[in-house]
Amino acid sequence: MVRIAVIEPRSAGYGLIDRGRELGHDMVVFTAGHGERRVPDEHLAHASRVEVIDTNDDRLVRRRLRELHSRRPFAAVLPGFEHYVPLAADAAADLGLPGLPAATAAALRMKHLMRERLAASGIDQPRHVLLTDEAELAGAIAEVGLPCVLKPVDQSGSLNVRKARTMAEAADAFRRINGYGAGYLDRTSLPLVLVEEYVVGPEFSVEGYAADDEVVVLGITEKLLGPEPYFVEVGHMVPAPLDADTARTVEAYTVGVVRALGLRLGPFHAELRLSARGPLLMEVAARLPGDRIPDLLRLATGADLYETTLRCFLGVRPAGPAAGPAAGPGPLAPDGSGAPVRHAGIRFFLRPEVSGYAAMTVAPGVTADPRIHEVGALIGPGEPVPAAGSSASRLGYAIAVSPGYRATAAALDAAERGVCFERSEPALTAVSATN
């Protein structure tokens, strides 16, 4: 049994705790324990120790890690969420453990540094300008063009990312980002704004890992986005329905991005669009993908990105499957046969008209559908629903699995129609479903 520290897990970070425990590891969780920095009890139950600490105080966390390490050494320190990638890298260096170099962690965390490093490496990407002053906005738009996208350099979950079709919309988006201050995870956002070319084309994410000089793509995920001007992700499908040549192009481009950023350890999650001039990176992170994508990948292909991440940081070569995209609609099966096992997808429920609800109801046809793997709520009854514009506004989700892409998509469409959020006493009695 080895001891592993996970700093402030959220989203897929919860799966690291659960899977680590299943594999027999001693999981130690560092969390603030309140607000958005609170780990659900069902995941904390799999930790051998919980350190309640201000995870936004880097020096405090690093000191506590050193104290615990001196009593019983850790074998790895992992970030539980994107915002804690640099802290985990610094803490690992303190303890002499495998981790990302500080410059690499910064480039994979801060979007403007990512753009700078990719530009220096000659990687094609959207045109972009970094702003600190609204007076520079007109010049940036003259360079990038309209429509454009404005985004903060250090947020996640599509928070404050906006498409702007006019100068007035761009100015409004700039002020929203520049004046955001302290908010998500109780962290103060940098007053830096990236103005980027708006890229026309379908969006995908690429999931994989790096181990020394090897970069492995485990899967390509199709992404479904909500209505613009926001870029909220409302669905994913694994594997993406790409032909073999396109899949190889996407894989080669992503491997080039990962190498240019110096990522040589652990998972990556790259988001890109297929434009008229080829793949163009939206962003990339040195962490597990969120939105249950690791679970979809495992359901569809058998690839276990949770275990792969743990093995990478423990210095153990990841076990198969470790193959890239195959001919046809997706990655290779675990046996290397060249055929995807199944298609797995998730659909998130956006209801902009709902500010709160009394009960989530699921139609009997949805619960009886063998393709439906799971249905659940993300915001509980009686809780306020955040305004549209980020992933926090998604009320619930459904996961479907079947041998075919169209059958999986059809099941998710039916779940979208069959799940309701009642403002009063519901007519149906089902609250959730799991097959």
6-26, pLDDT tens digit by residue?
A: 999 999 999 999 999 999 999
Please determine, for residue 412, whether its predicted confidence score (pLDDT) is greater than 70: yes
CATH number, domain 343-434: 3.90.1170
User: What pLDDT was estimated at residue 252?
Assistant: 98
pTM for this model (two decimals)? 0.91
| 318 vs 245, residue with greater confidence | 245
Contacts of 188 by beta carbon, 8 Å cutoff, 6+ apart: 181, 182
Q: What is the pLDDT of residues 255-306, one digit of tens each?
A: 999 999 999 999 999 999 999 999 999 999 999 999 999 999 999 999 999 9
Indicate the average pLDDT of the chain.
91
Looking at 141-150, 249-258, 302-311, 387-396, which range is the least confident one? 387-396
pLDDT for 334 equals 39
Share of residues in the chain with pLDDT > 70 (%):
92
Residue type, 398: A
pLDDT over 90 (residue 137):
yes
At residue 326, does pLDDT exceed 70?
no
Which pLDDT band, with edges at 50, 70 and 90, does 104 fall under? very high
Range in 244-248, 282-286, 428-432 with the lowest mean pLDDT:
428-432
Which architecture characterizes domain 3-99 according to CATH? 3-Layer(aba) Sandwich (3.40)
pLDDT(425) > 60: no
pLDDT band for 387, please (50, 70, 90 cuts).
Answer: confident
Pick the CATH number of 127-197 from 3.10.28.10, 1.10.132.20, 3.30.1490.20, 3.40.920.10: 3.30.1490.20
User: How high is the pLDDT of residue 1?
Assistant: 85
Q: Which residue has the higher pLDDT, 435 or 185?
A: 185
Does 424 or 267 have the greater pLDDT score? 267
Tokens coding 336: 């290397």
pLDDT of 340 reads 52
What's the pLDDT score for residue 342? 94
pLDDT, average across residues 32-43: 96
Better-predicted residue by pLDDT, 341 or 44: 44
Q: Where are the domains of the chain?
A: 3-99, 127-197, 203-313, 343-434
Task: Supply the pLDDT for residue 48.
Answer: 97
Average pLDDT over residues 400-411: 97
Position 421 pLDDT exceeds 50: yes
User: Which pLDDT score, from 0 to 100, does residue 337 have?
Assistant: 42
Instruction: Note the pLDDT of residue 239.
Output: 97
Q: What is the pLDDT of residue 329?
A: 36
Give the model's pLDDT for residue 333.
42
Q: Percent of the chain scored above 90 by pLDDT?
A: 84
Query: Per-residue confidence at 338, pLDDT binned at 50, 70, 90?
Result: very low
The average pLDDT across 230-254 equals: 96
Q: Is CATH 3.30.470.20 what the domain over 203-313 is classified as, yes or no?
A: yes
426 pLDDT more than 80:
no
At 339-382, the pLDDT tens digits run 457 999 999 999 999 999 999 999 999 999 999 999 999 999 99
149-159 average pLDDT score: 89
* Structure-block tokens of residue 317: 């070569």
Average pLDDT over residues 32-50: 97
